[in-house]
């Protein structure tokens, strides 16, 4: 996206494609980082977006932290893959909390053969539960 981003209001951040701008926003402690990492998930490959998404999962406060997990789900939906660091962050958070929807997206959109072993078990458990 070539237009300006408004960090005060969050306008334009849903289409941000500049990881350096997001890195600088982390340093400034910008309010709309959650929206920005979602934008990055839409516009950049997983290897570029992943470190910023994981960082947002770690540093954002509770209400905005959910946006980082939404971004992880978006990466799974769009690319059918996650990076090892995103898998690790989702596993650390575990199902049933803010990561629940991201984990479900990952189990739905990432091919079974590409899942790490722990998530293969989660997929099998979810499949058996749904069948019963």
Supply 122's token pair.
């989660």
In angstroms, how far is the first alpha carbon of the chain from the final one? 47
Report the distance separating Cα 29 and Cα 65, nearest Å: 14
Residue found under tokens 């890195």: 23
Report the distance separating Cα 29 and Cα 21, nearest Å: 12
Condensed to tens digits (0 to 9), the pLDDT of residues 27-41 reads: 999 999 999 999 999
Condensed to tens digits (0 to 9), the pLDDT of residues 40-70 reads: 999 999 999 999 999 999 999 988 899 999 9
- Quote the pTM value: 0.89
Radius of gyration of the chain (CA): 15
CB 56, CB 33: distance < 8 Å: yes
Condensed to tens digits (0 to 9), the pLDDT of residues 88-107 reads: 999 999 888 899 999 999 99
| Beta-carbon-side half-sphere exposure of residue 113 (alpha carbons within 13 Å) | 0
* Average pLDDT score over the chain: 91
pLDDT for 2 equals 42
Report the distance separating Cα 65 and Cα 75, nearest Å: 16
Supply 121's token pair.
């078990």
pLDDT greater than 90 at residue 109: yes
Residue found under tokens 């946006």: 67
């Amino acid at each position: 996206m070539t237009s300006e981003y408004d960090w005060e209001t969050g306008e334009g951040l849903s289409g941000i494609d500049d990881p350096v701008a997001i890195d600088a926003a982390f340093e400034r402690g910008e309010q709309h980082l959650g929206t920005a990492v979602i934008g990055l998930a839409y516009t950049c490959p997983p290897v570029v977006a992943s470190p910023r998404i994981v960082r947002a999962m770690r540093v954002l406060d509770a209400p905005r932290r959910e946006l980082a997990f939404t971004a992880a789900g978006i990466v799974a939906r769009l690319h059918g893959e996650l990076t090892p660091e995103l898998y690790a962050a989702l596993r650390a958070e575990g199902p049933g909390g803010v990561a629940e929807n991201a984990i479900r997206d990952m189990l739905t959109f990432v091919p079974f053969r590409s899942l790490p072993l722990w998530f293969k078990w989660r997929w099998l458990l979810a499949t058996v539960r749904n069948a019963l």
